Amino acid sequence: MAPRHAFFKGQIVPIEDAKISIMTHALHYGTGAFGGMRAYWNGEQEELYVFRSLDHFERLLNSAALLRMRLPYTPESLTQTLVDLLRHEGYRENCYIRPLVYKSEETLAVKLHEMEDDLAIIVNPLGEGSYVNIDQGAHVCFSAWRRVDDNAIPARGKITGAYVNSMLIKTDAMLAGYDDALVLNEDGHLAEASAANAFIIRKGVALTAPITANVLEGIVRRSLIRVLREDMGIEVVERNIDRTEVYMADEAFLCGTGAQVTPVTKIEHRPIGDGGIGPITSQLRARFMDIVTGRVDKYKEWVTPIYSTEKVTSH
């Protein structure tokens, strides 16, 4: 289903009215930054929960700063705007939320400074949709592409133009019959998947690439590191991961707002572990789903309830 409204140029408008000019700078040069967030519907509580809204908006504003945008917003004010938009839409189902900041000036100038910027937010109701068939696990390959490098386009932010890299990785993987691809960085170490961070489990230890390996500063990644350590007693090590370590892993999974926790059960022609969904991955996935749907008191500060929130404050 498509969004009915958008937050556009400072107000909530019907989606048909949220239009930009063909001259918009961001359309020509990829000079925008975006977020990808989820709201989870909890039917028992009749509540919609947005996961880590303040953290998502903080990352968005950091990405915007990399593009020299000066926006009159804070993570708190954007969360309040999102609460208003979600209430306006009135969804009672899972939703995908897309905030976008972009160079809105109508110019072809090749520069970032001294230009107008704008922000828009749209919400896509999801129904029961998921990223890949999570129950079977994903079959992935190593991409022939390399992950965009911090010295070319900042990899830690969600810069719109950088997603050409993700699209090449994902499209070539899908056309070759895979669900997704893992991508190596220019150093030859594992970075992440096309639009998700990646973990492997070896001998009971969870390994994931450090942020300095040119991975996005994933919010689910950060959340799962805490859950693995604190709730499951699993050691987590952020370090460079070689390609062959993935082949030898006992378990592997992708994580992110879209992927949630997606088990990887096969890489190219090799099963991961015994080819099934491993015990750590399935326990983590169950815990994550409980957290995002507002069922875990310990992590209540990670979720913003939409229909019972009075005023948004920082945590």
Cβ atoms < 10 Å from Cβ of 310: 6
Helix (H/G/I), strand (E/B), else coil: 271: strand
Question: From residue 214, how far is each of 63, 67, 70, 206 by CA, in Å?
Answer: 14, 18, 25, 19
- Which residue among 32, 154, 157, 218 contacts ligand PMP (CB under 6 A)? 218
Residue ranges of E strands in 44-148: 47-51, 95-103, 117-125, 138-146
Does position 303 interact with ligand PMP (CB under 6 A)? The reply is no
Q: For residues 23 and 167, which CB has a smaller minimum distance to ligand PMP in the complex? A: 167
Rounded CA gap, 46 and 149, in Å? 43
| Rg of the chain in Å (alpha carbons) | 19
Does position 125 interact with ligand PMP (CB under 6 A)? The reply is no
The CB-of-226 to ligand PMP minimum distance in angstroms stands at 13
For ligand PMP, which residue has the nearest CB? 256
Angle 258-59-299 (CA atoms, 0-180°, nearest 5)? Answer: 65
Rounded CA gap, 292 and 75, in Å? 19
- Which residue among 39, 83, 123, 216 contacts ligand PMP (CB under 6 A)? 216
Does position 166 interact with ligand PMP (CB under 6 A)? The reply is yes
Does position 36 interact with ligand PMP (CB under 6 A)? The reply is yes
- The pair of three-digit structure tokens given for residue 27, joined into one six-digit string: 């359309």
Q: For residues 59 and 103, which CB has a smaller minimum distance to ligand PMP in the complex? A: 59
- Which residue among 25, 103, 139, 221 contacts ligand PMP (CB under 6 A)? 221
Does position 220 interact with ligand PMP (CB under 6 A)? The reply is yes
Does position 25 interact with ligand PMP (CB under 6 A)? The reply is no
Does position 276 interact with ligand PMP (CB under 6 A)? The reply is no
Alpha helices in the chain (DSSP H): 25-29, 53-66, 75-89, 163-175, 219-226, 232, 243-247, 279-292
Q: For residues 154 and 258, which CB has a smaller minimum distance to ligand PMP in the complex? A: 258
Q: For residues 36 and 276, which CB has a smaller minimum distance to ligand PMP in the complex? A: 36
Alpha helices in 145-261 (DSSP H): 163-175, 219-226, 232, 243-247
The CB-of-132 to ligand PMP minimum distance in angstroms stands at 14
Rounded CA gap, 144 and 146, in Å? 7
The CB-of-81 to ligand PMP minimum distance in angstroms stands at 19
The CB-of-26 to ligand PMP minimum distance in angstroms stands at 18
Residue type, 4: R
State the binding string over 176-215 for ligand PMP (x if CB under 6 A, else -).
----------------x--xxx------------------
- Give first-to-last CA distance, the chain, whole Å: 33
The CB-side HSE value for 179 (13 A sphere, CA atoms) comes to: 20
The CB-of-155 to ligand PMP minimum distance in angstroms stands at 8
Q: How many residues bind ligand PMP (CB under 6 A)?
A: 14
Q: For residues 105 and 208, which CB has a smaller minimum distance to ligand PMP in the complex? A: 208
Interaction residues for ligand PMP, span 224-263 (CB under 6 A): 256-258
By the criterion CB under 6 A, which residues form the site for ligand PMP? Answer: 36, 166, 192, 195-197, 216, 218-221, 256-258
